[in-house]
Amino acid sequence: MNKRSLLQSVLALALASGFATGAMAQDKPIKIGVTGGPHAQIFEVVKKIADKEGLKIQVIEFSDYVQPNAALAAGDLDGNSYQHQPYLDNQVKDRGYKFVSVAQTVNFPIGLYSKKVKKLEDLKEGAKFGIPNDPTNGGRVLLVLQDKGLIKLRDGVGLKATPLDVVSNPKKLKFVELDAAQLPRSLDDLDASAINTNFALSAGLNPGKDAITQENAKSPYVNVLVVREADKGKPWVNQLVKIYHSEEVRKFIQTEFKGSVLPGF
As for how many domains the chain has, the answer is 2
Domain housing 177: 111-214
pLDDT at residue 64 above 90?
A: no
Query: Is 238 within a domain?
Result: yes
Query: Is 44 within a domain?
Result: yes
104 and 117, same domain (yes or no): no
**Chain segment 168-189, per-residue pLDDT in tens:** 999 999 999 999 889 999 999 9
Mean pLDDT within 198-208 = 86
Query: Is 165 within a domain?
Result: yes
CATH of the domain at 251: 3.40.190.10
85 and 209, same domain (yes or no): no
pTM, whole model, 2 decimals? 0.73
* pLDDT given for residue 134 in this prediction: 82
pLDDT at residue 37 above 90?
A: no
DSSP state of 1: -
